Amino acid sequence: MQNLTSNLNVLKWTDEIIALTKPSKVMWIDGSEEQLNMLREEACGTGELIKLNHEKYPGCYYHRSQKDDVARMEDKTYICTSNKDDAGPTNNWKNPEDAYKLGREIFDGSMYGRTMYIIPYSMGPMGSPFSKIGFEITDSIYVVVSMNIMTRIGKKVLDVLGDSNDFVRGLHGKCNLDIDKRYIFHFPEDNTIWSCNSAYGGNVLLGKKCFALRIASYQGLKEGWMAEHMLILGIENPKGEVKYIAAAFPSACGKTNLAMLIPPELYRKKGYKVWTVGDDIAWLRIKEDGRLWAINPEAGFFGVAPGTNNKSNPNALMATKKNAIFTNVAYNLDDDTVWWERLDNNPPENALDWQGNPWNGKKSKEKGAHPNSRFTAPAKNCPCISKEWESPEGVPISAIIFGGRRARTAPLVYQSRSWQHGVFVGSTLASETTAAASGKVGVVRRDPMAMLPFIGYNAGDYFGHWLEMGRKASNPPEIFHVNWFRTNDSGEFIWPGFGDNFRVLEWIIDRCENKSGAEEAVIGYIPRLEDINTQGLDITEDTLKDLLTIDSSSWMEDVKNIEEFYAKIGSRIPAELYNELNKLKSNLSKIKVESIA
């Protein structure tokens, strides 16, 4: 073993992990293509990876995880703080001493007979003042090559770190892939993550949700910045001016599609463009101009494969065409390519399903790909990637959008009255279950700022941090809420969605620049009918009115649900948010149905 660094903090920690896990060999990952190619070949030899057709999918590989290891394990994910209240009621808590003890028992000798890989990585552009450095120690080549896609890895990271002790210590081990001993322990007070007995990306690529959200959100609280589960996109107008938006959506609400949105032809002809800065995570800091600036800390996309196609998201599909890794999709034996449900209408007949069983896509009633099957693809492959996506200074955010799936309650779009009101809107963000998700339809699930599983500390303190950031920023973004999923009495969506969501983004940007009007309503500011461009849309004035109607009875029901949700979070919810809740209740009590006349 040859150390790549003389940093005594790093060497002391890695020596402790080597002594604990007892690997037969240790390899420092230098980030060179030569080393990575050697590891890919080795993984193909053991079956950990399968090389795809490099004429059709150059540089691409296939990976399969166990049947019981195919998704994030929320019930086995812990925030380990010395004070239980600091983790809060929305997180699973474990005493750090107990978590380390259990972890050591599981990791003891777990890498015997295996190679340990030490991966230095940077979340964020190399050397950016926004960026943070981490290490992932692992016994999985899949993790090494995936972290090479999702982050910046290797010797260059160590050069930036120097002798500093400011790095996140991540340990992952496949161990025995024992589901009963599968855990992720986060130690925010120690900048440490331990993940054991999983080989699924969401549990083992520790730079993603574990570091970039759970640990980073705690770092942001202590250091005065924010780590958020948000896409970042740029909207370029015909003059070449670009305005940036950050947006948070719970799952199944079209987040990735919005991040890579293609404007309607009407707008494209005029010269409007949308640029992707990031599809999942944003780190935001206040700069000298009083605005919030954001970076995407990741270098790749970790996307859900089923449903991704040339119609739903051509930009995401194009990003997967080279140097990508596909996990738990169907494998076409005829030409060594991949397929998943709704990719196209031509499933392979001679294939293996996601579990490795023979599968005929024309005849089988079983799905070829797991519903949560994934692609890991370099962000630079995306045709609409912004030229600013790796800017060390980030991009200035004009608007923050929260969005949920609501059948009748939330209108198509509304604007908060203030930053404080906007934090209230984000803290109460909700989606309703669909038939596909569960047996019950329309059950409201609260997911504040789309961060419920990822807040690394007490959710009440998290809301307080949002309020504090608004007080510190002299020119904070405007905050909006959108709902693409409004339905009629027959349960049919009445807004076309997808690219036409650009029409709503146009109003949002215009509002930020005081170029568009609005009506003041009980919940905030709502567009007038003439403010939403419906040219070329098959949508009536009555339908648009319906999209912007506020039904007070639905909202009063929502208020009860919010009160129950706040009660669960407890006493750390800031008084300012209860003030906003009381204001909403008071406004609603004065009306029956309010709509844009």
Which residues define the annotated binding site? 72, 200-202, 209, 229, 251-257, 280, 372-374, 405, 498-501
Bridge partners, residue 339, by sequence: 330
Bridge partners, residue 294, by sequence: 284, 395
H/E segment holding residue 521: strand 519-521
* Dist. CA 532–CA 522, nearest whole Å: 20
Output the CA angle 244-249-252, nearest 5 degrees.
130
Q: Which of 175, 210, 253, 512 is catalytic?
A: 253
Helices then strands, counting H and E runs in the chain, come out as 17, 33
Question: Which residue type does 221 have?
Answer: L
Which letter does DSSP use for residue 229 in this model?
S
Give the chain's radius of gyration (CA, Å): 24
Q: SS3 letters for 131-190?
A: CEEEEEEECCHHHHHHHHHHCEECHHHHHHHCCCCCCEEEEEECCCCCHHHCEEEEEHHH
* Dist. CA 275–CA 388, nearest whole Å: 9
> 63 — phi, psi (to 5°)?
-135, 145
Q: SS3 letters for 405-448?
A: CCCCCCCCEEECCCHHHHHHHHHCCEEECCCCCCCCCCCEEECH
Structure tokens at 399: 């608007």
Q: Which residue has the tokens 């574990």?
A: 210
Q: Do 470 and 290 meet the contact criterion of CB atoms below 8 Å apart?
A: no
- Binding residues for Mn(2+) are 209, 229, 280
- Binding residues for GTP are 252-257, 374, 405, 498-501
Catalytic residue flag (residue 253): yes
Structure tokens at 479: 């905050």
Output the CA angle 32-33-35, nearest 5 degrees.
70
Q: Characterize the bridge pairing of strands 351-352 and 330-332.
A: antiparallel
Bridge partners, residue 415, by sequence: 480, 525
* Dist. CA 452–CA 459, nearest whole Å: 8
* Dist. CA 590–CA 136, nearest whole Å: 56
* Dist. CA 570–CA 564, nearest whole Å: 10
User: 531-535 contacts: CB < 8 A, separation 24 or more?
Assistant: 531/507, 532/412, 532/503, 532/504, 532/507, 533/503, 533/506, 534/503, 535/266
- Binding residues for substrate are 72, 200-202, 251, 372-374
Count other Cβ atoms within 10 Å, centred on residue 479.
24
Q: Is 212 left (phi over 0), alpha (psi -120 to 50) or beta?
A: alpha
H/E segment holding residue 42: helix 33-46
Which letter does DSSP use for residue 374 in this model?
E
Q: Supply the residues annotated as catalytic.
A: 253
